[in-house]
Amino acid sequence: MAAGEHAVTAPPKPAPVSFARSLLRTKPVDRIVAEGGQGEGGELRRTMGLLQLTLFSVGATLGTGIFVVLGEAVPLAGPAVVLSFVLAAVTALFSALSYAELAGTIPVSGSSYSYSYATLGELVAWVCGWCLLLEYAVSVSAVAVGWGAYLSAFFDDAAGFTIPAALAGPPGEGGVVNVPAVAVVLLAMFLLLRGTSESATANTIMVFLKIGVLLFFCAVAFTAFKSGNLSPFAPMGWAGISAAGSKVFFSYIGFDAASTAGEEAKNPRRDLPLAIVLSLAIVTTVYVLVGLAAVAAMHWTRFSLSGSEASLAEVLNEATGRTWPSMILSLGAVIAIASVVLTVMYGQTRILFAMSRDGLVPDVFQKVSLRRRVPVANTVIVAAFIGTLGAVVPLGRLVDATSIGTLFAFALVSVGVIVLRRTRPDLPRSFRTPLYPVTPLAGVGFCVYLMVGLGGVTWTVFALWSLVGLAAYFLYGRRHSRLAGEPSGRSAR
């Protein structure tokens, strides 16, 4: 080597990471927060305040169970379905408090997926994200099916016209394809493509309408209140209450929708925790009132005979003997349930946005339109998937599969609170879960309890879904992970 020349030293190669360690690599909280809002080709715009965030969660939650699932839950518990709603609410509350802490600490779009990535590792985060696909996409499909039932009820009451069975239900339930379910999904897609601010405004209008319709239902149903309908109060005992609680937990799915808007909130650290807790309080109050009014106006044995997902309309028909109250309810439900489809579809696209940014799903899901500041391709793909499910899959299967995936994700959030308190006690937290660690541990316990109450077929579907998800992770996600090429992929700071 000539004088004055210096040997060029190659940069050191990252130390190889063991297979097991690669599955447990976590994404640093500071990095997750720093990347907030960033996508391929543009950034998301912060436009949502506390009111919009709260109503986003209310819009995603209120109506899902009351308008659609009540008819399936009452035959399991009788009048004690009111206690089933309370049981599900307590379970949701423990999870909501954990969500509130993590949403204020890690205010990004990924919701429980991002929280798991920061606390429990990449594999667990992937499984959580896969369960969120089940929670969000499948719940929207289920609600879209119920929307079609109310649309048909409205046409029947208003004009004596019934949507042909072949076009109003999926195969196996007397139909060929559920056209109304596809229609409401496409409507939500077009609203989301217009922009987040426009979608939030449309949702605000629909939420106020939805609350007004449910208060109207209570006012009419309570005029037909019969105390005899409440006796026996719990004909199936605690087993019935518990079984119905597992089913109506579906009606609380969506209170976490605000956490998916972390990158489009104006003041996420302050507003996200408040929005989550406030929305849960609002929907629980409404559910209990409507549930009580329904079982007091129509004997609980009649719910299993109605044969319709539009159970509240059936209550008003039987209670008043007139069609105009149920016509108003059905029209309100047609408009109001659309808000569930809109907001939950929004949450699904934002979770996929976060997963794509981490490399675990294809880059197409994080491409942002410079003009609209929304992930256009992401929204179209999600709408196509959801519309297909709603068109051809029966409601009951959708509801149970959604509940078990949601309960699993909620349990992971509660565990994440405990892990992050131990590993990063120094992080600024705008909200702290009260009675720690009792609250997150109770959240895990209640979620597991309700999961056990679901049927064997549901567990089989969940196991198969999880296996497909694991295959997708090892074939694609693990290979394309942004953390894959880093020395450790695990950093507390």
Q: What is the 3-state secondary structure (H, E, C) of 231-293?
A: CCCCCCHHHHHHHHHHHHHHHHCCHHHHHHHCCCECCHHHHHHHHHHHHHHHHHHHHHHHHHH
Query: Predicted confidence band at 126 (pLDDT cuts at 50, 70, 90)?
Result: very high
24 in a domain, yes or no?
no
Percent of the chain residues past pLDDT 90, beyond the cut: 22
209 in a domain, yes or no?
yes
In angstroms, rounded to a whole number, what is the distance separating the alpha carbons of residues 54 and 337?
17
pLDDT at 172: 64
Query: Predicted confidence band at 12 (pLDDT cuts at 50, 70, 90)?
Result: low
pLDDT at 173: 65
Which has more pLDDT, 300 or 158? 300
Token pair of 52 as six digits? 């919009």
Q: What is the tens place of the pLDDT at every residue in 473-484?
A: 999 988 899 887
Q: In the predicted model, is pLDDT for residue 151 greater than 70? A: yes
pLDDT at 17: 59
Question: Which one of 58-72, 189-203, 321-335 scores highest in mean pLDDT?
Answer: 189-203
In angstroms, rounded to a whole number, what is the distance separating the alpha carbons of residues 149 and 333?
10
4 in a domain, yes or no?
no
Which has more pLDDT, 11 or 372? 372
pLDDT at 71: 78
C-alpha count within 13 angstroms, C-beta hemisphere, residue 447: 27
48 in a domain, yes or no?
yes
Which has more pLDDT, 132 or 305? 132
Q: Angle 111-200-132 (CA atoms, 0-180°, nearest 5)?
A: 25
Q: Report the 10 Å Cβ neighbour count for 45.
A: 16
Q: In the predicted model, is pLDDT for residue 337 greater than 70? A: yes
pLDDT at 29: 85
- Residues 8-27 have a mean pLDDT of 65
pLDDT at 474: 93
74 in a domain, yes or no?
yes
Q: In the predicted model, is pLDDT for residue 1 greater than 60? A: no
CA 289 to chain centre: 22
Write the CATH number for 60. Answer: 1.20.1740.10
Return the minimum-mean-pLDDT range out of 12-16, 53-57, 186-190, 292-296: 12-16
Mean pLDDT across the chain, nearest whole number? 82
CA 440 to chain centre: 19
Which has more pLDDT, 95 or 324? 95
Enclosing domain of residue 330: 44-481
pLDDT at 433: 92
In angstroms, rounded to a whole number, what is the distance separating the alpha carbons of residues 48 and 98?
22
Query: Predicted confidence band at 462 (pLDDT cuts at 50, 70, 90)?
Result: confident
Query: Predicted confidence band at 492 (pLDDT cuts at 50, 70, 90)?
Result: very low
Residues constituting the chain = 493
Helix (H) or strand (E) holding 42: strand 42-43
13 in a domain, yes or no?
no
Provide φ and ψ at 108, rounded to 5°.
-130, 175
In angstroms, rounded to a whole number, what is the distance separating the alpha carbons of residues 53 and 282?
13
- Residues 322-338 have a mean pLDDT of 79
Q: In the predicted model, is pLDDT for residue 309 greater than 90? A: no
Q: In the predicted model, is pLDDT for residue 177 greater than 90? A: no
> Which one-letter DSSP state was computed for residue 160?
S
33 in a domain, yes or no?
no
Q: What is the tens place of the pLDDT at every residue in 37-71?
A: 777 766 788 888 999 999 988 988 886 567 667 77
Q: How many domains does the chain have?
A: 1
Which has more pLDDT, 157 or 208? 208
Q: What is the tens place of the pLDDT at every residue in 210-250?
A: 888 888 889 988 988 888 889 889 898 988 998 888 778 77
pLDDT at 416: 92
Hey, which residues does 40 pair with through a beta bridge?
A: 367
Return the minimum-mean-pLDDT range out of 11-20, 74-83, 408-417: 11-20
- Residues 204-209 have a mean pLDDT of 90
In angstroms, rounded to a whole number, what is the distance separating the alpha carbons of residues 135 and 164?
30
14 in a domain, yes or no?
no
C-alpha count within 13 angstroms, C-beta hemisphere, residue 466: 18
Task: For 63-113, give the DSSP string.
Answer: TTTTTTTHHHHHHHHGGGHHHHHHHHHHHHHHHHHHHHHHHHHS-STTTHH
Q: In the predicted model, is pLDDT for residue 377 greater than 90? A: yes
Please, what is the end-to-end C-alpha distance for the chain in angstroms?
43
- Residues 406-416 have a mean pLDDT of 89
- Residues 116-142 have a mean pLDDT of 84
Query: Predicted confidence band at 340 (pLDDT cuts at 50, 70, 90)?
Result: confident
Q: In the predicted model, is pLDDT for residue 490 greater than 50? A: no
Question: Which one of 101-105, 159-163, 253-257, 447-451 scores highest in mean pLDDT?
Answer: 101-105
The answer to whether 326 touches 157, Cβ cutoff 8 Å, is: yes
Contact residues for 87 (Cβ-Cβ < 8 A; gap 6+): 241, 242, 245, 450
